Amino acid sequence: MNKNELVSSVLIALLFVSSLEDLKTSRVSNSTLLFSFLFGLFALLFSKDASLGSLSEWTAGLFLTGIPAYGLWKIGVFGAGDGKLFSVIGAFLGVQMGIEILCLSVLVGAVVSLFFLFEVRGKKLVLSLGNRIPFAPVIALSSVFIWEGWHVLF
């Protein structure tokens, strides 16, 4: 396994673990995100594999994906852990893919939220505005679509 495959495996594990955490606890833990962030940074700094990109590309992906995600978190689109997850994904995959994943995740999340908007009480379908949506699985699904080259937006 080369270093690029190892980094890809860590990103896949991050998406999987984050999704499970979000489904179970409605949170994405900082420790999972920090481990992935540091692993990616060390792999970049100590690798001679040019396919991992440069430190400036990694930093640009981190911030240029993270800043819009921060704005969406501030207005309540998703949780803080989801915003940090976008930052780590942007660092790993770069600015363009990070932004594409962010956009696709918001669109898919909007569709998924329609299913969570209503609940069945007895024999009636009623509006339920208090439901929280686990967003990390939506991010993981969107990441796989974009990462595999299914650029549906751009």
- The string of pLDDT tens digits covering residues 64-85 is 999 999 999 999 888 999 999 9
Q: Tell me the C-alpha distance between 12 and 7, whole Å.
A: 9
Is 152 among the domain residues?
no
For residue 130, the model assigns a pLDDT of: 66
Note down the domain range covering 77: 3-147
Q: What pLDDT, on the 0 to 100 scale, is given for residue 75?
A: 92
> pTM of the prediction?
0.84
pLDDT of res. 115: 80
Please report the pLDDT score of residue 88 as a whole number. 92
Instruction: Let me know if residue 89 belongs to a domain.
Output: yes
Residues of the chain with pLDDT under 70: 1-4, 48-52, 127-131, 150-154
Residue 87 contacts by C-beta under 8 Å, 6 or more apart in sequence?
Answer: 37, 62, 63, 65, 66, 69
Q: Is 154 contained in some domain? A: no
Q: What is residue 86's predicted lDDT score, i.e. its pLDDT?
A: 94
Domain count along the chain: 1
Task: State what percent of residues in the chain have pLDDT above 70.
Answer: 86
Query: What Rg value do the Cα atoms of the chain yield, rounded?
Result: 16
